Structure 1
Amino acid sequence: MSEEAEKAFLSKVKREIEGKIKTETKEIEKIKEEHEELIRANHGYAEFYHELEHFIMDSMQDFSVTEEDLPKYFKSNINEVYQNYVQIRRDAFEEEETLKKYIDKCKRDVGANKRSLKFYKSQYMDSDFFDECLPLVTIYQDKIDLYEENQKLTLDIIEQLRKIADKLKGWD
Protein backbone atom coordinates (compact mmCIF):
# COMPACT_ATOMS: atom_id res chain seq x y z
CA MET A 1 0.00 0.00 0.00
CA SER A 2 1.42 3.37 -0.96
CA GLU A 3 2.03 6.00 1.70
CA GLU A 4 -0.82 8.10 0.33
CA ALA A 5 -3.22 5.14 0.32
CA GLU A 6 -2.17 4.25 3.86
CA LYS A 7 -2.80 7.83 5.04
CA ALA A 8 -6.22 7.80 3.35
CA PHE A 9 -7.03 4.48 4.98
CA LEU A 10 -5.96 5.66 8.45
CA SER A 11 -7.88 8.90 7.97
CA LYS A 12 -11.02 6.97 7.03
CA VAL A 13 -10.64 4.65 10.03
CA LYS A 14 -10.14 7.62 12.36
CA ARG A 15 -13.31 9.28 11.03
CA GLU A 16 -15.24 6.04 11.52
CA ILE A 17 -13.98 5.78 15.09
CA GLU A 18 -14.88 9.42 15.77
CA GLY A 19 -18.39 8.75 14.43
CA LYS A 20 -18.65 5.63 16.58
CA ILE A 21 -17.57 7.63 19.64
CA LYS A 22 -20.32 10.20 18.99
CA THR A 23 -22.95 7.50 18.47
CA GLU A 24 -21.92 5.53 21.54
CA THR A 25 -21.73 8.68 23.68
CA LYS A 26 -25.35 9.47 22.76
CA GLU A 27 -26.29 5.88 23.57
CA ILE A 28 -24.60 6.02 26.96
CA GLU A 29 -26.55 9.19 27.78
CA LYS A 30 -29.80 7.32 27.04
CA ILE A 31 -28.70 4.47 29.31
CA LYS A 32 -27.89 6.97 32.06
CA GLU A 33 -31.38 8.45 31.69
CA GLU A 34 -32.85 4.95 32.00
CA HIS A 35 -30.68 4.46 35.09
CA GLU A 36 -32.05 7.61 36.72
CA GLU A 37 -35.60 6.60 35.81
CA LEU A 38 -35.07 3.18 37.38
CA ILE A 39 -33.75 4.78 40.57
CA ARG A 40 -36.84 7.02 40.77
CA ALA A 41 -39.16 4.07 40.06
CA ASN A 42 -37.49 1.95 42.72
CA HIS A 43 -37.93 4.70 45.31
CA GLY A 44 -41.49 5.35 44.16
CA TYR A 45 -42.55 1.72 44.46
CA ALA A 46 -40.89 1.41 47.87
CA GLU A 47 -42.74 4.52 49.04
CA PHE A 48 -46.01 3.22 47.59
CA TYR A 49 -45.58 -0.07 49.45
CA HIS A 50 -44.95 1.83 52.68
CA GLU A 51 -48.13 3.90 52.12
CA LEU A 52 -50.07 0.75 51.22
CA GLU A 53 -49.05 -0.86 54.51
CA HIS A 54 -50.29 2.21 56.39
CA PHE A 55 -53.53 2.27 54.42
CA ILE A 56 -54.20 -1.37 55.24
CA MET A 57 -53.34 -0.95 58.92
CA ASP A 58 -55.46 2.20 59.24
CA SER A 59 -58.37 0.57 57.38
CA MET A 60 -58.21 -2.51 59.59
CA GLN A 61 -58.46 -0.28 62.66
CA ASP A 62 -61.08 2.07 61.20
CA PHE A 63 -63.39 -0.71 60.03
CA SER A 64 -62.53 -3.35 62.69
CA VAL A 65 -61.73 -6.07 60.16
CA THR A 66 -58.76 -8.37 59.65
CA GLU A 67 -56.36 -7.90 56.77
CA GLU A 68 -57.82 -10.99 55.08
CA ASP A 69 -61.36 -9.58 55.32
CA LEU A 70 -60.42 -6.08 54.17
CA PRO A 71 -60.89 -6.79 50.43
CA LYS A 72 -64.37 -8.20 51.08
CA TYR A 73 -65.26 -5.19 53.20
CA PHE A 74 -64.18 -2.72 50.51
CA LYS A 75 -65.86 -4.74 47.77
CA SER A 76 -69.16 -4.60 49.65
CA ASN A 77 -68.97 -1.07 51.05
CA ILE A 78 -66.51 1.03 49.05
CA ASN A 79 -66.31 -0.75 45.71
CA GLU A 80 -64.40 2.05 43.95
CA VAL A 81 -61.49 1.68 46.38
CA TYR A 82 -61.65 -2.08 45.98
CA GLN A 83 -61.52 -1.77 42.17
CA ASN A 84 -58.56 0.63 42.39
CA TYR A 85 -56.52 -1.83 44.43
CA VAL A 86 -57.51 -4.74 42.18
CA GLN A 87 -56.19 -2.70 39.25
CA ILE A 88 -52.99 -1.81 41.12
CA ARG A 89 -52.35 -5.51 41.71
CA ARG A 90 -52.92 -6.31 38.02
CA ASP A 91 -50.69 -3.41 36.99
CA ALA A 92 -47.93 -4.71 39.27
CA PHE A 93 -47.97 -8.08 37.46
CA GLU A 94 -48.00 -6.41 34.03
CA GLU A 95 -45.14 -4.08 34.98
CA GLU A 96 -43.15 -7.06 36.22
CA GLU A 97 -43.49 -8.74 32.82
CA THR A 98 -42.39 -5.55 31.07
CA LEU A 99 -39.38 -5.26 33.37
CA LYS A 100 -38.39 -8.87 32.72
CA LYS A 101 -38.26 -8.03 29.02
CA TYR A 102 -36.10 -4.99 29.82
CA ILE A 103 -33.70 -7.25 31.75
CA ASP A 104 -33.48 -9.57 28.74
CA LYS A 105 -32.71 -6.54 26.54
CA CYS A 106 -30.00 -5.42 28.95
CA LYS A 107 -28.45 -8.90 28.88
CA ARG A 108 -28.37 -8.87 25.08
CA ASP A 109 -26.88 -5.37 25.08
CA VAL A 110 -24.23 -6.40 27.61
CA GLY A 111 -23.23 -9.28 25.32
CA ALA A 112 -23.04 -7.04 22.27
CA ASN A 113 -21.05 -4.41 24.14
CA LYS A 114 -18.65 -7.03 25.52
CA ARG A 115 -17.94 -8.14 21.95
CA SER A 116 -17.38 -4.53 20.88
CA LEU A 117 -15.19 -3.91 23.92
CA LYS A 118 -13.09 -6.97 23.09
CA PHE A 119 -12.71 -5.81 19.49
CA TYR A 120 -11.71 -2.25 20.34
CA LYS A 121 -9.41 -3.41 23.13
CA SER A 122 -7.59 -5.59 20.60
CA GLN A 123 -7.48 -2.65 18.18
CA TYR A 124 -6.23 -0.44 20.97
CA MET A 125 -3.41 -2.83 21.76
CA ASP A 126 -2.49 -3.96 18.25
CA SER A 127 -2.98 -1.09 15.87
CA ASP A 128 -1.47 2.12 14.61
CA PHE A 129 -4.55 4.06 15.73
CA PHE A 130 -4.76 2.77 19.30
CA ASP A 131 -5.07 6.27 20.76
CA GLU A 132 -8.28 6.78 18.81
CA CYS A 133 -9.71 3.47 20.11
CA LEU A 134 -9.08 4.16 23.80
CA PRO A 135 -12.23 6.32 24.26
CA LEU A 136 -14.33 3.50 22.78
CA VAL A 137 -12.80 1.01 25.20
CA THR A 138 -13.83 3.28 28.07
CA ILE A 139 -17.30 3.94 26.65
CA TYR A 140 -18.06 0.26 26.11
CA GLN A 141 -16.90 -0.61 29.63
CA ASP A 142 -19.09 2.18 31.03
CA LYS A 143 -22.07 0.92 29.00
CA ILE A 144 -21.57 -2.61 30.29
CA ASP A 145 -21.38 -1.35 33.87
CA LEU A 146 -24.53 0.75 33.43
CA TYR A 147 -26.48 -2.09 31.83
CA GLU A 148 -25.49 -4.40 34.68
CA GLU A 149 -26.48 -1.79 37.27
CA ASN A 150 -29.79 -1.26 35.45
CA GLN A 151 -30.43 -4.99 35.64
CA LYS A 152 -29.86 -4.92 39.41
CA LEU A 153 -32.16 -1.91 39.82
CA THR A 154 -34.80 -3.60 37.69
CA LEU A 155 -34.62 -6.73 39.84
CA ASP A 156 -35.09 -4.50 42.91
CA ILE A 157 -38.15 -2.93 41.29
CA ILE A 158 -39.56 -6.37 40.48
CA GLU A 159 -39.11 -7.28 44.14
CA GLN A 160 -41.01 -4.13 45.16
CA LEU A 161 -43.80 -4.98 42.71
CA ARG A 162 -44.05 -8.50 44.10
CA LYS A 163 -44.31 -7.12 47.62
CA ILE A 164 -47.13 -4.83 46.49
CA ALA A 165 -48.92 -7.67 44.69
CA ASP A 166 -48.47 -9.97 47.69
CA LYS A 167 -49.80 -7.30 50.03
CA LEU A 168 -52.85 -7.03 47.80
CA LYS A 169 -53.42 -10.78 47.68
CA GLY A 170 -57.14 -11.34 47.89
CA TRP A 171 -57.90 -8.08 46.07
CA ASP A 172 -58.90 -9.75 42.82
Structure 2
Amino acid sequence: MRRPRWPATAPPVSGGVEVHGHRLLAAETHLTLDVIRTVAFESGLAVHLALTATGAPAEMAHRQTRPLTDPDDWSAEWSYLTVWATVENTDAEADPYLPRPDVHACDAGRSVYRTEPRYWLGTPPIVRSVTLTAGWPQIGLPATTAILALEPTDQPSIGTGVGDR
Protein backbone atom coordinates (compact mmCIF):
# COMPACT_ATOMS: atom_id res chain seq x y z
CA MET A 1 0.00 0.00 0.00
CA ARG A 2 1.34 3.43 -0.96
CA ARG A 3 1.83 6.00 1.75
CA PRO A 4 -0.06 9.23 1.21
CA ARG A 5 1.99 12.28 0.14
CA TRP A 6 1.41 15.98 -0.20
CA PRO A 7 2.68 16.33 -3.80
CA ALA A 8 5.11 18.95 -5.08
CA THR A 9 2.38 21.18 -6.51
CA ALA A 10 2.55 24.98 -6.59
CA PRO A 11 -0.31 26.98 -5.02
CA PRO A 12 -2.54 29.41 -6.93
CA VAL A 13 -0.80 32.58 -8.10
CA SER A 14 -3.08 34.93 -6.15
CA GLY A 15 -5.79 35.13 -3.53
CA GLY A 16 -3.84 33.91 -0.52
CA VAL A 17 -4.05 35.26 3.01
CA GLU A 18 -1.20 34.88 5.51
CA VAL A 19 -2.51 32.80 8.42
CA HIS A 20 0.72 32.20 10.31
CA GLY A 21 3.91 34.23 10.52
CA HIS A 22 7.46 33.44 11.54
CA ARG A 23 8.05 30.77 14.20
CA LEU A 24 11.15 28.92 15.31
CA LEU A 25 10.47 25.17 15.08
CA ALA A 26 13.81 23.75 16.18
CA ALA A 27 17.20 24.90 17.36
CA GLU A 28 20.12 22.53 17.77
CA THR A 29 23.84 23.23 17.90
CA HIS A 30 24.62 24.92 14.55
CA LEU A 31 21.08 24.26 13.19
CA THR A 32 17.79 26.18 13.09
CA LEU A 33 14.50 25.34 11.42
CA ASP A 34 11.86 28.05 11.03
CA VAL A 35 8.39 28.49 9.58
CA ILE A 36 8.74 31.67 7.53
CA ARG A 37 5.00 31.94 6.91
CA THR A 38 1.87 29.97 6.05
CA VAL A 39 -0.54 31.26 3.41
CA ALA A 40 -4.14 29.99 3.10
CA PHE A 41 -5.98 29.69 -0.21
CA GLU A 42 -9.45 28.33 -0.99
CA SER A 43 -7.84 25.06 -2.06
CA GLY A 44 -5.08 24.65 0.51
CA LEU A 45 -2.09 25.95 2.42
CA ALA A 46 1.36 27.08 1.28
CA VAL A 47 3.92 26.47 4.04
CA HIS A 48 7.31 28.20 3.74
CA LEU A 49 10.20 26.85 5.84
CA ALA A 50 13.87 27.79 6.26
CA LEU A 51 16.69 25.61 7.51
CA THR A 52 20.06 27.15 8.36
CA ALA A 53 23.13 25.12 9.28
CA THR A 54 26.67 26.19 10.11
CA GLY A 55 29.89 24.31 10.77
CA ALA A 56 29.81 20.50 10.64
CA PRO A 57 26.03 20.25 10.00
CA ALA A 58 26.46 22.61 7.01
CA GLU A 59 29.23 20.41 5.61
CA MET A 60 27.04 17.32 6.08
CA ALA A 61 24.06 19.05 4.40
CA HIS A 62 26.23 19.98 1.44
CA ARG A 63 27.40 16.36 1.09
CA GLN A 64 23.86 14.99 1.50
CA THR A 65 22.45 17.23 -1.26
CA ARG A 66 25.26 16.99 -3.83
CA PRO A 67 24.49 15.56 -7.28
CA LEU A 68 24.95 11.79 -7.30
CA THR A 69 26.60 11.55 -10.70
CA ASP A 70 29.89 9.76 -9.93
CA PRO A 71 29.37 6.00 -10.48
CA ASP A 72 32.65 5.30 -8.64
CA ASP A 73 31.50 7.07 -5.45
CA TRP A 74 30.25 4.16 -3.35
CA SER A 75 29.71 6.43 -0.35
CA ALA A 76 27.18 8.52 -2.24
CA GLU A 77 23.90 8.94 -0.43
CA TRP A 78 21.32 11.67 -0.73
CA SER A 79 18.96 13.11 1.85
CA TYR A 80 17.03 16.29 2.55
CA LEU A 81 14.78 17.78 5.18
CA THR A 82 11.84 15.41 5.79
CA VAL A 83 8.50 17.10 6.47
CA TRP A 84 5.25 15.42 7.53
CA ALA A 85 2.07 17.48 7.72
CA THR A 86 -1.20 16.57 9.39
CA VAL A 87 -4.32 18.50 8.42
CA GLU A 88 -7.68 17.23 9.62
CA ASN A 89 -7.66 13.49 8.75
CA THR A 90 -4.68 13.53 6.39
CA ASP A 91 -1.19 12.73 7.67
CA ALA A 92 1.38 12.55 4.88
CA GLU A 93 4.95 13.32 3.90
CA ALA A 94 5.25 16.59 1.99
CA ASP A 95 7.35 17.10 -1.13
CA PRO A 96 8.65 20.66 -1.69
CA TYR A 97 7.23 22.45 -4.74
CA LEU A 98 9.87 25.14 -4.57
CA PRO A 99 12.97 23.99 -2.73
CA ARG A 100 14.63 27.40 -3.33
CA PRO A 101 18.26 27.22 -4.29
CA ASP A 102 20.36 25.90 -1.47
CA VAL A 103 23.06 28.28 -0.35
CA HIS A 104 26.41 26.89 0.66
CA ALA A 105 29.03 29.49 1.50
CA CYS A 106 31.87 30.27 3.81
CA ASP A 107 31.51 33.17 6.18
CA ALA A 108 34.73 34.13 7.95
CA GLY A 109 36.01 30.59 7.50
CA ARG A 110 32.77 29.02 8.75
CA SER A 111 30.66 26.88 6.43
CA VAL A 112 27.00 27.97 6.02
CA TYR A 113 24.13 26.06 4.38
CA ARG A 114 20.60 27.45 3.96
CA THR A 115 17.57 26.07 2.18
CA GLU A 116 14.03 27.50 2.00
CA PRO A 117 11.68 24.72 0.88
CA ARG A 118 8.01 25.49 0.27
CA TYR A 119 5.19 22.98 0.55
CA TRP A 120 1.62 22.83 -0.77
CA LEU A 121 -1.03 21.09 1.31
CA GLY A 122 -4.29 20.67 -0.61
CA THR A 123 -6.91 21.16 2.12
CA PRO A 124 -10.53 22.19 2.63
CA PRO A 125 -11.19 25.97 2.56
CA ILE A 126 -11.21 26.44 6.34
CA VAL A 127 -8.42 24.82 8.33
CA ARG A 128 -7.79 25.80 11.95
CA SER A 129 -4.41 24.14 12.46
CA VAL A 130 -1.66 22.12 10.84
CA THR A 131 0.76 19.80 12.63
CA LEU A 132 4.26 19.76 11.17
CA THR A 133 6.90 17.16 11.95
CA ALA A 134 10.28 17.91 10.41
CA GLY A 135 13.78 16.58 10.76
CA TRP A 136 17.01 15.76 9.00
CA PRO A 137 18.84 13.25 11.19
CA GLN A 138 21.67 12.81 8.67
CA ILE A 139 22.89 16.33 9.53
CA GLY A 140 21.97 16.27 13.23
CA LEU A 141 18.43 17.68 13.24
CA PRO A 142 16.13 15.25 15.08
CA ALA A 143 12.44 15.15 14.22
CA THR A 144 10.49 17.90 15.93
CA THR A 145 6.72 18.41 15.98
CA ALA A 146 4.81 21.69 16.21
CA ILE A 147 1.15 22.59 15.91
CA LEU A 148 0.50 25.82 14.03
CA ALA A 149 -2.75 27.57 14.93
CA LEU A 150 -3.96 29.27 11.76
CA GLU A 151 -5.75 32.60 11.70
CA PRO A 152 -5.41 35.63 9.44
CA THR A 153 -2.54 37.93 10.38
CA ASP A 154 -2.37 41.67 9.76
CA GLN A 155 -0.78 41.00 6.37
CA PRO A 156 -2.76 41.89 3.22
CA SER A 157 -3.87 39.25 0.72
CA ILE A 158 -0.89 37.91 -1.16
CA GLY A 159 0.08 35.54 -3.93
CA THR A 160 2.25 32.44 -3.69
CA GLY A 161 5.37 34.36 -2.90
CA VAL A 162 7.23 32.42 -5.60
CA GLY A 163 9.30 35.51 -6.32
CA ASP A 164 9.28 37.03 -2.83
CA ARG A 165 11.32 36.35 0.21
Higher helix proportion (structure 1 or 2): 1
Larger radius of gyration: 1
The structure with the greater share of residues assigned to strand is 2
TM-score (norm 1): 0.22
- Relative contact order higher in (CA < 8 Å, ≥ 6 apart): 1
